[in-house]
Structure 1
Amino acid sequence: MYDAIILAGGENSEHLSKFSSQSYEAMIEIAGKPMVTFVADALAASPQVDRIFIMGPIPQLQKCRFPDNAVLLEGGCTLLETIQLGMKALGHENKVLVVTADIPLLTPNAIADFFTQCAQVEADLYYPIVSKEINNKFYPSSKRTYVRFKDGTYTGGNIFLVNPKIVPQCLLVAERLINNRKNPFKLCCILGWGFVLQFFLGTLSLTKVKERVATLLGITGAVVQSPYPELGIDVDKPSDLELVRTTFSFRS
């Protein structure tokens, strides 16, 4: 089994604040519940998940109803500081699942498939991607950031399986990658100008990117092609919020 960390400390963006007065993104209401509770419930319903560490503003999170195996922890001033604090709280160095609080469509089946694919290869970091075709099939109105590779066109997911031992050595480069995750061109610039050229020519392969990121971070990485678009549909703009709220209205 794996422990999980939910990153719930992000402040509400300027765009989303027009649709929700909540100070923190994780607390934005969807179908009558704070967004973060859907993520926690999906993790709690997953047989492979043990403890759930929810990291963010304690006073706000205490107002939520979370599963019994959830532990609330105050987050750091930055995303990476929060991840560091979460890793220290684990009390072990086994692989841990890191999840953002803004993917309320997450399901236990999506989590189970991710774990199943991760178990097929040994790595320090596992990262999911979803093809544009699959995403458009299930959520045609979803507006995602896609990257065109030689192998296909993909968007990134928002869950990661991480070996805690690698976190200290990865912080500086990881921060640059995370901060530019919505900008494929800037990501290619971080990887090197050769990648920029291949990006524009459409000859960039997933394997080359994986190998380059692993070299930059000094780790072994694995890319998981998930059939579940719910891993990547994060709420960071008004159209995302509308999509998620509409989806839940159809489910109820």
Structure 2
Amino acid sequence: MINCVILAGNEDSQLAEKSSKAFIELQGKPMIMYVIDALKASNKVDKIAVVGDKSQLGSLSIHVNTIIDHKGSILDNIAAGARYFKEDDMLLISTCDIPLLTGEAVADFITRALVSKADICYPIINKTTCDLAYPESKRTYATLKEGQFTGGNLFMVNPTIIDRSLYIAEQMISYRKSPAKMSRVLGLPFLIKLATGRLSIEEVENRVSKLLNIRGKAIISKYAEIGNDVDRLEHVQVIERYMQKNTRCIL
């Protein structure tokens, strides 16, 4: 059993009147509750902490173990959650906006991440997997040697590495739209290979591991729901259609 931090930051959202999209309702249920339910259903998660604006998240207190009041960036919120669970060997981090998440998907990722013995594990999902599961959902993909992949919204991390990794992570986020600046962090040859689809998963793992002085591992997941997050109104509409379809199938 491991502990989990759900990121429910106080970001501005065009998807709801509330500033946190955690409370967007899908079939009469706040989006974050689908995530909480999936984590519990995995039978792999012990304590759950939600990080965000406590004044907005108070209603969740009966469903989770603690709410950590924090109103910074996503990286600040990750660090706040990691400090709370600083004695843990590994910690699961989840966003609040993957309402199709299932306990089976969570259990599979946790099991495989722990087996890897890496300091940080990140799920990636093949485009074919996503297209088969959710053909209406449009995601952003990176082309690697092994195929086209999108990133997931869970990751496993050793809490002790977070503070020393934040500077590089902040640079990568800040420079993500500037290839010239990003090349200072990742290196120009790396970026060229990435842009031309000649980079392998192992090369990405090795580059991240070297930059952060850790062992990083990409976990290819067969569960498309891990990467099916809600960023725009069209995502809400697509997910509601899938939920309605699944409800009809159950009935």
Fold conserved (TM > 0.5)? yes
**2:145 aligned with 1:147, yes or no?**
no
**2:79 aligned with 1:84, yes or no?**
yes
CA contact (8 A) 1:37 1:65 kept: no
Q: C-alpha distance in 2, partners of 1:8/1:179? A: 20
CA contact (8 A) 2:53 2:71 kept: no
* Partner SS, residue 59 of structure 1: helix
Give the corresponding residue for 2:24: 28
**2:15 aligned with 1:8, yes or no?**
no
Shift of 1:186: 8.1
Give the corresponding residue for 1:128: 123
CA contact (8 A) 1:38 1:104 kept: yes
**2:165 aligned with 1:170, yes or no?**
yes
Shift of 1:48: 1.0
Alignment of 1:212-223 (within 5 A): 212-223=207-218
What is the RMSD of the two structures over their aligned residues, measured on CA atoms? 2.1
The counterpart of 1:156, out of the listed 136, 151, 154, is 151
Q: C-alpha distance in 2, partners of 1:102/1:179? A: 22
Shift of 1:49: 0.4
**2:228 aligned with 1:233, yes or no?**
yes
**2:186 aligned with 1:191, yes or no?**
yes
Shift of 1:175: 2.0
- Between the aligned residues of both structures, percent identity stands at 38
Shift of 1:10: 4.0
CA contact (8 A) 1:149 1:204 kept: yes
Unaligned runs of 5+ in 1: none
- Give the letter for the 2:79 counterpart: Q
Aligned length: 246
| 186 and 229 in structure 1: CA distance in 2 versus 1, 3 angstrom threshold | farther
Give CA deviations for 1:129-154 in whole Å, capped at 9, x if unaligned: 00000000010111111000011110
Give CA deviations for 1:54-96 in whole Å, capped at 9, x if unaligned: 11122222234753x5321212312122112111212513200
* Partner SS, residue 119 of structure 1: helix
Give the corresponding residue for 1:107: 102
| 127 and 215 in structure 1: CA distance in 2 versus 1, 3 angstrom threshold | same
Unaligned runs of 5+ in 2: none
Q: C-alpha distance in 1, partners of 2:136/2:61? A: 31
**TM-score, L = length of structure 1:** 0.90
* Partner SS, residue 62 of structure 1: helix
Give the corresponding residue for 1:61: 57
CA contact (8 A) 1:10 1:26 kept: no
Give CA deviations for 1:154-186 in whole Å, capped at 9, x if unaligned: 0000101000110111001112334577x6968
Give the corresponding residue for 1:49: 45
* Partner SS, residue 11 of structure 1: coil
CA contact (8 A) 2:118 2:215 kept: yes
